[in-house]
Amino acid sequence: MNPENSREKQINFAIYDFSGLLSKVLTGIKLDKKIFYLGKLELHKETEKKSNDLIEKQRLLKLHLEQRGFEVILAGRVRGHIENCPKGHEVLTFKEKGVDVRMAVDMITAACNKNLKAAIIGSSDSDLQPAVRELRNQKIERVYLGFESQPNKGLTATTNRTILIRNSELEEFIGK
């Protein structure tokens, strides 16, 4: 989705129908477990009001997902740091760190413990490619679930199958 679109900026993910979206795009695939990974948000003193707002939105999203049968794992964290913008001004930016590591460890652990037959990877983080290759070595089916607007070629290459979600499919489940 294009974050520049004003309608998309107003999506309330605490009421988004993630289950409906998955049912539509994964038609014919039985899901035994749905895990949603989130970077843990922390209060940042320079943006205290915005930090508190985002932390509350994440809490509501987590509750919404859990009520709909998702396991939610808070992994890594979202950190704020100062960067210089192209015009030379200092800008506070936030980056998530560590979620991909937790996802990779969880997938490999499940595969090694024989608790995983197939992994549907709903992430476009290229850092997951080594873990996905190891799943291939373990003879685990691998499906990359990405976005039509920005597919990850590396994950497409390392998985058995790619399913790309269209913007129209994303919009279909807003607020349902």
Contact 36, 65 (CB under 8 A): yes
Q: Which residues face 40 on adjacent strands?
A: 77
H or E element, residue 101: helix 99-112
Does 1 fall in a domain? no
- Count of structural domains, the chain: 1
Residue 102 forms part of a structural domain: yes
DSSP string of 127-159, one letter each residue:
GGHHHHHHHHHTT-EEEEEEETTS--HHHHHHS
* pTM for the structure as a whole: 0.84
Q: Which domain holds residue 65?
A: 6-172
For residue 130, tell me if it sits in a domain.
Answer: yes
Q: Which residues contact 109 (CB under 8 A, 6 or more apart)?
A: none
With respect to residue 146, please indicate whether it lies within any of the assigned structural domains.
yes
In a domain, 84, yes or no: yes
**Within a domain: 14:** yes
CA distance 90 to 105: 35
- Along the 176 residues of the chain, how does pLDDT read in single tens digits? 334 343 445 688 899 999 999 999 999 999 999 999 999 998 888 788 888 988 999 999 999 999 999 999 999 988 777 788 888 888 878 788 899 999 999 999 999 999 999 999 999 899 999 999 999 999 999 999 999 999 999 999 999 999 999 999 999 999 75
The two tokens of residue 95 are 């980056």
Complete edge-to-edge strand list for the sheet that includes strand 71-84: 35-41, 71-84, 90-97
What does the block give as tokens for 69?
């049968």
Q: Residue 132: give its domain's CATH number.
A: 3.40.50.1010
